[in-house]
């Protein structure tokens, strides 16, 4: 089973929510002249931009790669064919539930992933 190139994006709703929240927080703190209050707003904006720019996770060969929202770090979960499944709105590696959830993912990307996992399971 090779899912090379299969990428699951973050939900745009979450990305835009972080951008709006960060913008509001920064604007309010600019109006009240509170420079320390700008930090949470800037962090929210950076996270929102990261959600738009980076994938939530992707399949590369027989491994799931989860890149950090910021920076070069990534977590890699190797798996055997048929071991990776989507169940109850989460990604499972055998019996172990991984940290990837459907509610944080782009709906179309997650549906494509679930379809891919079902079709590859039929051939294992």
Q: Mean pLDDT throughout 3-25?
A: 91
* Nearest of 74, 86, 73 to residue 116 by alpha carbon: 86
Q: What is the pTM of this model?
A: 0.83
For residue 112, give every residue at least 6 positions away whose Cβ sits within 8 Å of its Cβ, in sequence order, or none.
6, 8
Helix H or strand E encompassing 23: helix 12-31
pLDDT band at 19 (very low <50, low <70, confident <90, very high): very high
The total domain count for the chain is 1
Looking at residue 1, what is its pLDDT?
46
CA distance 26 to 40: 8
Enclosing domain of residue 56: 6-123
Per the domain annotation, does 66 fall within a domain? Answer: yes
Per the domain annotation, does 68 fall within a domain? Answer: yes
Residue 123 has pLDDT above 70, yes or no: no
Per the domain annotation, does 39 fall within a domain? Answer: yes
Per the domain annotation, does 1 fall within a domain? Answer: no
Per the domain annotation, does 95 fall within a domain? Answer: yes
Per the domain annotation, does 62 fall within a domain? Answer: yes
pLDDT band at 124 (very low <50, low <70, confident <90, very high): low
């Amino acid at each position: 089973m090779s899912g090379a190139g299969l990428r699951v994006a973050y939900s745009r709703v979450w990305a835009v929510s972080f951008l709006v929240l960060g913008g509001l927080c920064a604007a309010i703190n600019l109006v009240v002249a509170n420079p320390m209050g700008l930090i949470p707003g800037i962090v929210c904006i950076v996270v929102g931009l990261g959600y738009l720019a980076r994938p939530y996770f992707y399949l590369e060969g027989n491994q799931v790669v989860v890149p950090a929202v910021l920076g070069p770090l990534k977590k890699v979960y190797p798996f055997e064919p048929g071991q990776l499944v989507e169940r109850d709105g989460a990604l499972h590696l055998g019996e172990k539930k991984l940290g990837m959830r459907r509610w944080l993912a782009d709906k179309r990307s997650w549906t494509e992933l679930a379809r891919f996992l079902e079709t590859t399971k039929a051939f294992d």
